[in-house]
Amino acid sequence: MVLYATDCHGNPVKLLCTDDGKLETQSKNPSANILITSSSGVGVYADTQPVPTVDGNNRAGWFYKKTIDNTDKFNYYFYSQGSHPVLLGDLHSLVANVSIGNWQSNASMPFFVIYTKPTGVGDAGAWYHSKCAYAIDSSKNILLGEPVNLYCIKEPSCSHNGNRDIELTTIINTGDCLPAEEILTIALHSDSAAPINTEVLVANLGYELNNKNQNYFNLIT
């Protein structure tokens, strides 16, 4: 007997039984995989220090542990323009599936940043026009080791898992951050102010647009 469910778009998807007895869906629209050792993987983690590694508990995703105070942080860039630009106003949601290994403060939690293309007039940075950040607030309950879906802007229509959703509601805008600005890149950052031994596992990153287009990436090792 084969069991089926429906995905977030109403498409039939096969249910698979994992080794620990859980049912998971096999989507007909799978996420793209980004291998940590590939050129694509290096492009995603870019200037991250130290670079992400395989998780010691064999969990899926890229494991990051901070080792040097004030300087170490990760930056995972997961958007580059295709055939047409995407505007700030086109974004429906940003999503990341993460697990936090220890909690010291809000600085332990990563946050999203959207950078827009420089225009040469009123640019807020040397290589971007605006920087729009979404961070966690102190009211959110974080359990150590729990995989959660961080999201911002609007609730995602398709996060591809049954994990708890946590909205990042603290908005920090640097520059204009107007809906008509063209997006340069989007990143998930850790906080450079996070304490030593901060541990973050990121399994999946993605974004959804208002026109229903979406792009999700599995970070694999």
Q: What tens digit of pLDDT does each residue of 102-111 get?
A: 998 999 999 9
Nearest to 215 by CA among 56, 80, 62: 80
Widest CA span in the chain:
63
Q: Assign 10 a pLDDT band (cuts: 50, 70, 90).
A: very low
Q: Which residue has the tokens 């007895």?
A: 21
| Mean pLDDT value across residues 177-200 | 96
Q: Assign 17 a pLDDT band (cuts: 50, 70, 90).
A: low
Q: pLDDT tens, 90-127?
A: 999 999 999 999 998 999 999 999 999 999 999 999 99
Pair of tokens at residue 47: 């200037």
CA distance 42 to 157: 29
Question: What per-residue confidence (pLDDT) applies to 15?
Answer: 52
Pair of tokens at residue 58: 């064999």
| Range with the poorest average pLDDT among 34-43, 65-74, 153-162 | 153-162
CA distance 7 to 24: 11
| Range with the poorest average pLDDT among 4-13, 18-27, 149-158, 173-182 | 4-13
Q: Is the dihedral of CA 151, 106, 69, 102 positive or negative?
A: negative
| Mean pLDDT value across residues 132-148 | 96
Q: Is 2 exposed, middle or buried (0-12, 13-18, 19+ CB in 10 A)?
A: exposed
Helix spans in the chain (H) = 39-45
- Report field, pTM of the whole predicted structure over 0.85: yes
CA distance 79 to 206: 9
Instruction: Report which residue type is found at 154.
Output: K
| Mean pLDDT value across residues 161-168 | 91
Virtual torsion, Cα 27, 188, 209, 36, nearest 10 deg: -40
Burial 41-78 (b: 16+ CB within 10 A, else e): beebbeebeeebeebeeeeebbbbbbeeeeebbbbbbb
Question: What per-residue confidence (pLDDT) applies to 19?
Answer: 55
- Helix or strand run (H / E) with residue 186: strand 183-189
| Topology of the domain comprising 31-220 | Jelly Rolls (2.60.120)
- Helix or strand run (H / E) with residue 71: none
Write down the domain spans for the chain: 1-29, 31-220
Would the pLDDT of 11 be above 50? no
Would the pLDDT of 162 be above 90? no
Q: pLDDT tens, 20-29?
A: 555 555 444 4
| Mean pLDDT value across residues 203-220 | 94
